[in-house]
Chain A
Amino acid sequence: GESVGLHLPTLSVQEGDNSIINCAYSNSASDYFIWYKQESGKGPQFIIDIRSNMDKRQGQRVTVLLNKTVKHLSLQIAATQPGDSAVYFCAEMSLGGTSYGKLTFGQGTILTVHP
């Protein structure tokens, strides 16, 4: 059948603002979550991860929040900079042997930061 391109959500912010990128996941067995940043012509770059026994984790300028009750993940970027412009993906992995190397990715969100 005909393939339909993904219509990625977009987020446009001003330099210096805080950004929040959201992600819903469906697998209640997911135990591990990662946020990746992908710039044009490059592979996904690891940003931050969180395990299901946590609900918040902070990195440098980034915070990931996990709400297992509603199966929701968010990435907060503080003081967003033009260099943060990219596509952001959430990815999930569940426990067990069938999960070796297998991340299930969300569709991605395009973040554009205006100077």
Chain B
Amino acid sequence: KAGVTQTPRYLIKTRGQQVTLSCSPISGHRSVSWYQQTPGQGLQFLFEYFSETQRNKGNFPGRFSGRQFSNSRSEMNVSTLELGDSALYLCASSLGLGTNEKLFFGSGTQLSVL
């Protein structure tokens, strides 16, 4: 069974631009969560989607948004990029049947903002 797939693997953008990252969950998983990983802040939760609905959200500004499609694939968007948005963005999937489930992570998208 294929794991969580994230594309693209690397991205370079400039300040003020926007970016869209994509995540395909493990087959049969309906929940997709997004995390930001930086050397300074570690791993931080962005948001979670299930059945095309956002169920949970972390403490990030409104420039960070996401969506989920009917096939459970998810995208996240960051608008008006700032230098501090440079990070590894990780997507995780789970069955979504409740809390306290194993989350399986993809390899991430490394975003560099210049």
Q: Which residues of chain A have a CB within 8 Å of any CB of chain B?
A: 3-6, 31-32, 34, 36, 41-46, 49, 51, 89, 91, 93-108
Q: Is the interface of B mostly helix, strand, loop or mixed?
A: strand
Across the interface, which residues of A come within 8 angstroms of B106, CB to CB? Answer: 43
Q: How far is the CB of B76 from chain A (nearest CB, A)?
A: 13
**Number of chain B residues whose Cβ lies closer than 8 Å to a Cβ of chain A:** 33
Check B100 against A93 for contact (C-beta < 8 Å). yes
Q: How far is the CB of A88 from chain B (nearest CB, A)?
A: 13
Count of A-B contacts with CB under 8 A?
Answer: 89
- Please judge, given known A-B contacts A43-B106, A44-B105, whether A100 and B31 are in contact too, CB under 8 Å: yes
Query: Chain B residue with minimal CB distance to A48?
Result: B102
Name the one of A3, A97, A101 contacting B103, with C-beta atoms under 8 angstroms.
A101
Proximity bits, B27-55, A CB within 8 Å = 1, else 0: 00001110000011111110111100001
- Please judge, given known A-B contacts A100-B56, A103-B103, whether A5 and B40 are in contact too, CB under 8 Å: yes
Across the interface, which residues of A come within 8 angstroms of B40, CB to CB? Answer: 3-6
Check A31 against B100 for contact (C-beta < 8 Å). yes
Q: How far is the CA of A48 from the CA of B100 in the complex (A)?
A: 13
Check A89 against B100 for contact (C-beta < 8 Å). no
Check A99 against B41 for contact (C-beta < 8 Å). no
Check A99 against B99 for contact (C-beta < 8 Å). yes
Name the one of A42, A101, A107 contacting B94, with C-beta atoms under 8 angstroms.
A101
Could you list some 13 contacts between A and B, CB below 8 A? Answer: A3-B40, A36-B105, A43-B4, A43-B105, A43-B107, A43-B108, A46-B104, A97-B55, A100-B55, A100-B56, A101-B32, A104-B45, A108-B42
